[in-house]
Amino acid sequence: MEDTKKPRLMQLIEQHASMIRAVKFDDGSEFHTTDDYRQDRKMTDHEEDEDHWQDDASSFSGVPLQLWSDADINVKLEETPQWNDDLADETELSRLTSMGLLLRAIN
């Protein structure tokens, strides 16, 4: 091996060795991992863009056409007529009723 390459090689070996951590289990077995345990993994970093309602295509089958808008998709819609909101509310009540979550009280 060329002498000029040896320091660089040693440096890489040390660097890789420092990345590998041993995890011991109760039964005496030992595993090696490159995971970093110094801080907890962020379990919520996916939530910002997530649609919490988890609507899929089936959620929209049979909904009134009036709830859809052909407006420019690059512009956020602001004004909504009251009838449109009322219709959206009724659609939601129908959905929850069909799911068995809501029940209309007779009296």
Q: Which residues here bind other proteins, judged by CB under 8 A?
A: 23, 31, 33, 35, 37, 40-41, 43, 51-57, 60, 63, 67-71, 73, 76-77, 80, 84-85, 87-89, 91-93, 96, 99-105
Q: What b/e sequence results for 27-62 when a residue is b if at least 16 CB atoms lie within 10 Å of its CB, and e otherwise?
A: eeeeeeeeeeeeeeeeeeeeeeeeeeeeeeeeeeee
With respect to other proteins, which residue has the nearer C-beta, 1 or 57?
57
With respect to other proteins, which residue has the nearer C-beta, 12 or 102?
102
- The three-class DSSP label of residue 31 is strand
With respect to other proteins, which residue has the nearer C-beta, 18 or 39?
39
Cβ atoms of residues 21 and 37 within 8 Å: yes
- The three-class DSSP label of residue 91 is helix
> What span, in angstroms and rounded, lies between the C-alpha atoms of 7 and 59?
62
Minimum distance, C-beta of residue 65 to other proteins, in the bound complex (Å): 11
With respect to other proteins, which residue has the nearer C-beta, 10 or 23?
23
